[in-house]
Amino acid sequence: MEQENRGTSGSGEDNLPPAATQAAAPPPHLPDQPDASGKKRPCRKTLCVGLAGIVAGVALVLTGSALLHGTDTASFCASCHSMDEAALTHRMSAHAAEDCNACHLPTGWSRLPAKASTGLHDILATLTGNVPPRIQASEGMKDVVNDNCIRCHRPTVENVDMTAKRRCTECHRAVPHMNKLPIAKRRAADV
């Protein structure tokens, strides 16, 4: 009989599962729910995803910046066979220290879209073999180059009658891509 009474105290608690006999513990903290102090705590997964997003964003910005800078260099432009002569004449010009895009891209907010458009045009022309025998600047490109001439040479331009010609290169034809080769023997046209 003692065995029968050993497990029973008469209150009925001994017949409950072990977890029910313990003092009522507070429910475990649930993610994104207020804790005992009333503060809402983010879950670990949310923090990890947020941190991964920040790291990916920084990596994207740094990679994009490196690509934009790398594709501004004269050596990058010269890496295409179709730009051989333009690169050669540029290296021999007074502007050899400047990158191609210092002259051939606008400044400010329009630079990035212009760079993307021009780059895509050049890549497609190269891939399809549709590169003209003599590279000519479009009217829009001539305006961009002229604006950059005036921007870089502002102190000189302030002392010059700029109404004589429409663009700087109309008087200074040989400056952008040297004057060593006769025009008839060049494929890279003056801008």
140: which 2 tokens? 């829009």
Query: pTM here?
Result: 0.61
Q: What is the pLDDT along the chain (191 residues), one digit of tens a residue?
A: 455 545 444 555 556 555 555 555 555 555 556 666 666 666 778 888 889 999 999 999 998 888 878 888 888 888 877 777 788 888 878 888 888 888 999 998 888 899 889 888 888 988 898 888 777 788 998 999 999 999 999 988 888 887 888 888 888 877 777 655 555 555 555 44
The domains of the chain are located at: 70-185
Cα 177 from Cα 154, distance rounded (Å): 21
The three-class DSSP label of residue 113 is helix
Please tell me the predicted confidence (pLDDT) of residue 137.
82
Please tell me the predicted confidence (pLDDT) of residue 173.
75
Please tell me the predicted confidence (pLDDT) of residue 191.
42
Please tell me the predicted confidence (pLDDT) of residue 87.
82
**CB of 89 within 8 A of CB of 98?**
no
Rg (CA), the chain: 36
**CB of 64 within 8 A of CB of 91?**
no
How many CA within 13 A on the CB side of residue 184?
0
H or E element in which residue 59 lies: helix 44-70
CATH fourth-level superfamily of 70-185: Di-heme elbow motif domain (1.10.3820.10)
What are phi and psi for residue 40, nearest 5 degrees? -85, 125
